[in-house]
Amino acid sequence: MFFGGQSNVSTKPPKADSININIKVFHGDKVDDVVHKHSTSLHGVPRSNRIGFNDAPIQSRSDIFLTVAKAINITSIMKLYSSSGPSYVNVSAEIRLNDEPDHIVERCIFRGSNDGDTRYESYVAPNAGDLWWDEKFKLCIPEDIAPRALLIFKFHLMNAASHSDEASEPEPPVAIAALNLSINGRFIRDGEHRMKIRRLDSGYTLEQQLGPYLVEDTAPPAVFDPVLSVESFLCSTKFTEDGTLHSLLNWKQNIGTLTTDESRFKMKEILRKFTFVSEIEILKVTHFVAFLKIVPSGSV
Amino acid sequence: MAIQANVATTTPGLGSPMPLISPTSPGKQFFPGEVPIRAHYPLSHLLINMRAFVGSICNSAHEGVELMFGLYARHEHHFISEFYIVELNHNGVPAGPRPEDMVGRIHTLFTDLTSRDVADEIYLVCRIFKTGEAKDVLRPDASSSASTHKDQSRASVLFDMARPGSGGSRLHKSTSSIIRPKGSRVSQIFQRSTSPDGQPPSPGLKTAHSVGSFGTVKATAIKGPSYRRAFGCAVLDLSKVLQETRASSGPEAGTEHIIPIFVPSQEGDFHQLHESIIESKTNKLYVLRWSI
């Protein structure tokens, strides 16, 4: 029995009946105006924002939503703990810099609209050798950090034997997975991302093993590889996941001055592809459009 | 070494040179003459005010409860809002040094629901977790039990007893297919407190049904790291609420709702519990009921 079968706490079974709530619905195209109009009810009420834009954004926003979906084929990793496997698996996520992996970006992870932290943590019971979470959290990272942001997941195995009544140091992670949030400065595409899960050697630190992971485990995972599946959704007026739009917004850094035939050809290619960029994707970063005015007329 | 990143999630005052209008704006034209004018439906914003958590899922004073409220779109199979997190202590009252300050303030505004959202099926999902020390929270028998014990004490705290007296308050039961026992204590609370004459509940009723007390809450220190374990889920269909209020002139006093809590028979199924409740696949679920 877990925890030696003895505990000084009550063993009465848990009971839960219901949650009682009151709901009011308000209408208006601008939430600020609605709050102002109904200030008696809505002043100071924390907002839980919609995920995504319902229309062209009128406010600056830079949220990255990540859903930890599942981890599959992890039986071999879980059996590291014991022959019976762990009771629970803890997965924690944090943002580091891919060029400085020992740097952790603080207070950039939000499990809820009213909750900010340095780490996301979750606990899940194994289900037939796989782990299923379907839990969502939000990242808010500054513009200068976003191109170097590295999302690291650490796996801890837990069961009764690892926790006594006395407080103890948390056990080291047994496996990691990592995801670069940007590729060549462009944000990763919305949708599912599958990462290999790498077993950690207890003789080395996580930072020492992270480098080889980022180099060696970049290929798509094979069928039987342990895989962590994460879904991303970018909701930002600062970053874009569209390669063409990113190239256009950063043409000066990428192409330089339009003095050579090669640079002018590159710019023409970007503008040709730009016609296929979706309108809503452009509208998200409309405040950048003024930037295009600096392109000299007649130079392209 | 750590890097501080304090970033506002939503920063007003972008300072765009002109109003932004898109083809998707109802009733507005981005390219005049190209997009037909449609009926204008303003966005809807949902104020959720938590009145009470009726239950006792903690086994010790070192445990707590975490509730995560979010909006779920059935047709899109994903959550369309951020989550609002409520932390309660083992007595079921808001965790923190001054829980009395939270009375009537456990609320959030879910913003920017479109006419399409209102037309589709939107659900309020509340995921329930136990929090606390590992020896309490991760115990295999610490989570769920379907048995009913008559000697079970009840922790039910009403966070806001002030009921609107406008007569516009209505009682809506959950649309869940689970049949709940008539005349349960919870139902009585709301039936009596929202009487047709709109009178507020009597002090006697308040005392009779509020087991927890803000005045007796003591901060309990957790010795080790805090853990979180999935417990159950509650789901409310918002379609009727949203569509009815669109037809009405204003938010009035709001509507009261009692949402039953379901617990998965297999803890590994927790991630899809809300979908199972929505689809009425309740054969693998059970709702913990109080003995009457």
| B83 CB within 8 Å of a chain A CB | yes
Asked if residues A174 and A81 have their Cβ atoms less than 8 Å apart, the reply is: yes
Tell me which chain A residue has its CA closest to the CA of residue B21: A56
**Lowest-pLDDT range of A39-53, A202-216, B198-212:** B198-212
Q: What is the pLDDT of residue A108?
A: 93
Q: What is the pLDDT of residue B229?
A: 87
C-alpha A182/C-alpha A236 separation (Å) is 14
Average pLDDT across chain A, whole number: 81
B275: left (phi over 0), alpha (psi -120 to 50) or beta: alpha
Q: Among A97, A115, A132, select the one facing B271 at the smallest CB separation.
A: A132
C-alpha B90/C-alpha A255 separation (Å) is 61
Asked if this assembly's ipTM is beyond 0.90, the reply is no
| A42 CB within 8 Å of a chain B CB | yes
- In the predicted structure, residue A290 carries a pLDDT above the cut 60: no
* Mean pLDDT, residues A53-70 taken together: 86
Q: What is the pLDDT of residue A101?
A: 84
**Lowest-pLDDT range of A174-183, A231-240, B89-98:** B89-98
- In the predicted structure, residue A61 carries a pLDDT above the cut 60: yes
Asked if residues A20 and B158 have their Cβ atoms less than 8 Å apart, the reply is: yes
Asked if residues B130 and B167 have their Cβ atoms less than 8 Å apart, the reply is: no
Q: How many CB atoms lie within 10 A of CB A107?
A: 15
- In the predicted structure, residue A48 carries a pLDDT above the cut 90: yes
Q: Count residue pairs from A and B with Cβ separation < 8 A.
A: 366
Q: Do B109 and A7 touch (CB under 8 A)?
A: no
Q: What is the pLDDT of residue B289?
A: 53
| B219 CB within 8 Å of a chain A CB | no
Judged by CB atoms within 8 Å, which residues 128-187 of B form the interface with A?
Answer: 128, 130, 133-136, 138-145, 147, 149, 152-154, 156, 158, 160, 184, 186
Three-state secondary structure readout of B235-255: EEECHHHHHHHHHCCCCCCCE
Q: Take residue B224 and report the two structure tokens written for it.
A: 């080790």
Looking at domain A62-236, its CATH superfamily turns out to be: C2 domain (2.60.40.150)
Q: What is the pLDDT of residue A259?
A: 82
- In the predicted structure, residue A25 carries a pLDDT above the cut 80: yes
* Mean pLDDT, residues A20-45 taken together: 93
**Nearest C-alpha neighbor of A91 from the set A165, A151, A40:** A151
**Chain segment A213-232, per-residue pLDDT in tens:** 888 767 788 888 899 999 99
* Mean pLDDT, residues A165-184 taken together: 78
Q: Full-prediction pTM beyond 0.80? A: no
Three-state secondary structure readout of chain A: CHHHHCCCCCCCCCEEEEEEEEEEEEECCCHHHHHHHCHHHHCCCCEECECCCCCCCCCEEEEEEEEEEEEECCHHHHCCCCCCCCCEEEEEEEEEECCEEEEEEECCEEEECCEEECCEEEEECCECCEEEEEEEEEECCCCCCHHHEEEEEEEEEECHHHCCCCCCCCCCCCEEEEEECEECCEECCCEEEEEECEECCCCCCHHHHHHHHHHHCCCCCCCCCCEEEEEEEEEECCCCCCHHHHHHHCHHHHCCCCCCHHHHHHHHHHHHHHCCCCHHHHHHCHHHHHHHHHCCCCCC
C-alpha B286/C-alpha B289 separation (Å) is 9
Q: Do B5 and A113 touch (CB under 8 A)?
A: no
**Chain segment B237-287, per-residue pLDDT in tens:** 998 888 877 666 565 678 999 999 998 888 888 899 999 999 886 665 666
Asked if residues B264 and B275 have their Cβ atoms less than 8 Å apart, the reply is: no
Asked if residues B137 and B63 have their Cβ atoms less than 8 Å apart, the reply is: yes
Q: What is the pLDDT of residue B148?
A: 36
The full length of chain A comes to 300
Tell me which chain B residue has its CA closest to the CA of residue A134: B271
Residues of chain B with pLDDT under 50: 1-33, 35, 143-157, 160-222, 290-292
Q: Among A22, A45, A122, select the one facing B108 at the smallest CB separation.
A: A45
C-alpha A128/C-alpha B269 separation (Å) is 11
Q: What is the pLDDT of residue A185?
A: 78
Q: What is the pLDDT of residue A202?
A: 83
Q: Do B112 and A128 touch (CB under 8 A)?
A: no
**Chain segment A101-110, per-residue pLDDT in tens:** 888 999 999 9
Pairwise pLDDT comparison (A192 vs A78), residue with the higher score:
A192
Q: What is the pLDDT of residue A248?
A: 85
C-alpha A58/C-alpha B10 separation (Å) is 11
Q: Do B231 and A16 touch (CB under 8 A)?
A: yes
> Using 50, 70 and 90 to split pLDDT, how confident is the model at A175?
very high
C-alpha A63/C-alpha A89 separation (Å) is 27
Q: What is the pLDDT of residue A288?
A: 54
**Residue numbers in B near A98 (CB within 8 A):** none
Q: Do B7 and A158 touch (CB under 8 A)?
A: no
Q: What is the pLDDT of residue B109?
A: 96
Three-state secondary structure readout of chain B: CEEECCCCCEECCCCCCCCCCCCCCCCCCCCCCCCCCCCCCCCEEEEEEEEEEEEECCCCCCCEEEEEEEEEECCCCEECECCEEEEEECCCCECCCCHHHHCCCCEEEEEEECHHHHHCCEEEEEEEEEEECHHHHCCCCCCCCCCCCCCCCCCEEECCCCCCCCCCCEEEECCCCCCCCCCCHHHHHHHHHCCCCCCCCCHHHHHHHCCCCHHHCCCCCCCCCCEEEEEEEEEEECHHHHHHHHHCCCCCCCEEEEEEEEEECCHHHHHHHHHHHHCCCHHHEEECCCCC
Side chain identity, residue A83: S
| A20 CB within 8 Å of a chain B CB | yes
Can you give the residue ranges of every domain in chain A? 62-236, 243-294
Q: What is the pLDDT of residue A163?
A: 54
C-alpha B53/C-alpha A17 separation (Å) is 8
Can you give the residue ranges of every domain in chain B? 44-287
**Nearest C-alpha neighbor of A283 from the set A94, A59, A92, A109:** A59
**Chain segment A125-155, per-residue pLDDT in tens:** 887 778 888 899 999 998 888 889 999 999 9
Q: What is the pLDDT of residue B212?
A: 36
Q: What is the pLDDT of residue B156?
A: 46
C-alpha A115/C-alpha A107 separation (Å) is 9
Q: Among B135, B232, B252, select the one facing A163 at the smallest CB separation.
A: B135
* Mean pLDDT, residues A224-247 taken together: 89
Q: What is the pLDDT of residue B285?
A: 63
Q: What is the pLDDT of residue B7?
A: 39
Residue indicated by tokens 């796989």: A130
Chosen from A6, A7, A8, A20 to mutate, greatest number of chain B CBs within 10 A: A20
Q: What is the pLDDT of residue A253?
A: 80
Q: What is the pLDDT of residue A82?
A: 60
